[in-house]
Amino acid sequence: MQVSTPTSTSKSNPAARRVLLCVGGGIAAYKAVELVRRLRDAGCDVRVAMTQNAQRFVGAVSFAAVSANPVRASLWDEDAEAAMGHIELARWAQQVLIAPATANILAKLAHGLADDLVSTLCLATTAPVTVAPAMNLRMWQHTATQANLETLRARGVQVIGPDDGAQACGEFGPGRMREPADIVERLFAAMPGTGPVDAAASTRDLQGRRIVITAGPTFEDLDPVRYLGNRSSGRMGFALAAAAARRGAQVQLIAGPVTLPTPPGVQRIDVRSAAQMHTAAQAALPADVFIGAAAVADFAPRTRAPDKLKKRDLGDGDALTVDLVRTPDVLADIAKSARRPTLVVGFAAETRADALEAYAREKLSSKGLDLIAANHVGASDSGFDSDSNNLTVYARDAEHALGRASKTHLAERLLDLVVQRLTTQAT
């Protein structure tokens, strides 16, 4: 099938970067329409090829309208294939982007199959190929999918995403397609001559580094049933662990009580209390980098009741007094350890936006940190229980406003700063 618009040839720009967008058959296909728009806004000439299943989610007419170019969806288009149209399209492309890249498409690419238009184009082109995976979290974590990705990475295929987040199937975890703005940013970072190169997009810039990350809350038990805790979901720390592993690091993730799946390639240790997290963090040294993304409780009950507390245990009054004691300071103790990592990075979660910088800088200084990521957790669309965050990273000599974005995207940006610091200290 070929769908065109009256302006399809007049809007083509021969000097523009030529991007062939291949759309796979998943619910995330609806995001690909916005992806075309953002690519064109960035100055690209975009043509779209769709799988048959992709057309069940989004019509070809939508892509023709936003790309201002014909849309291809079949090898059996007589008009196009009279001139070997799929070969011409494969030669035309300077960059191939597959979004969403389903588990099926990744498997076809890894094994060199060419049984439809998209897989044939990918096998026939010599242009760089980038994939933006999107699938159910269990499909993403399956050993077959991960093996296919390793094969593709070894061939030089760039992999962007996926994000952690809520999925159409009702589950939460890795497998959600990266947002179009993030994909375009990453794509341009890897394109020669189109902007500064983002090392994480094309190289494993943390290869050989050991990184320890804490994530999630700690629970401090009052009795076998009740505890003191906080609302930390662990998503930011898990996003950092996943991103660091993708960039080649050996990652140990020390996780408080959360329900998130372990990112591929990450060694995970589960703990419950601040004391347990402190012990695990000390045992994880030495390391090149320590990132304390966990929301560790500052206080814990002095004693834990052996049995569930009853109302009658309160006596005649209507109040219960709990004697609290300070917990070990995981982050500060790592920073002053004799085996201190090269970089120690902390987080400051604050509810007062007007005092965020002051609180963060005080914590940076008092705990002896190298970097601290400050986030405002009072907003409904960032911080705890959210897929996004709003970070500003402070150092003694610098400030980096990363802004509001998905936690997966911010994890990459924070690791960019970590890599820059490691590189600077090594020179």
Q: List active site positions.
A: 169
The amino acid occupying position 106 is: L
The amino acid occupying position 52 is: Q
Q: Sort 154 into a burial class: Cβ within 10 Å, 0-12 / 13-18 / 19+.
A: exposed
Residues 6+ apart with CB under 8 A from 166: 172, 176, 387
Bridge partners, 53 (sequence order): none
**What are the distances in angstroms from CA 212 to CA 68, 167, 216, 314?**
48, 28, 14, 43
CA 38 – CA 40 distance, rounded (Å)? 5
Bridge partners, 46 (sequence order): 19
- Are the C-beta atoms of 44 and 17 separated by less than 8 Å? yes
Taking the C-alpha atoms of 216, 222, 224 and 230 in order, what is their torsion angle to the nearest 10 degrees? -20
Residue 388: closest CA among 97, 131, 160, 176: 176
State the sign of the Cα–Cα–Cα–Cα dihedral 358, 360, 364, 370: negative
State the sign of the Cα–Cα–Cα–Cα dihedral 198, 203, 204, 206: negative
Rounded to the nearest angstrom, the gap between the alpha carbon of residue 86 and the centroid of all alpha carbons in its chain is 33
CA 427 – CA 425 distance, rounded (Å)? 6
Locate 396 and state its tokens. Answer: 């003694």
Q: Sort 302 into a burial class: Cβ within 10 Å, 0-12 / 13-18 / 19+.
A: exposed
- Are the C-beta atoms of 84 and 57 separated by less than 8 Å? no
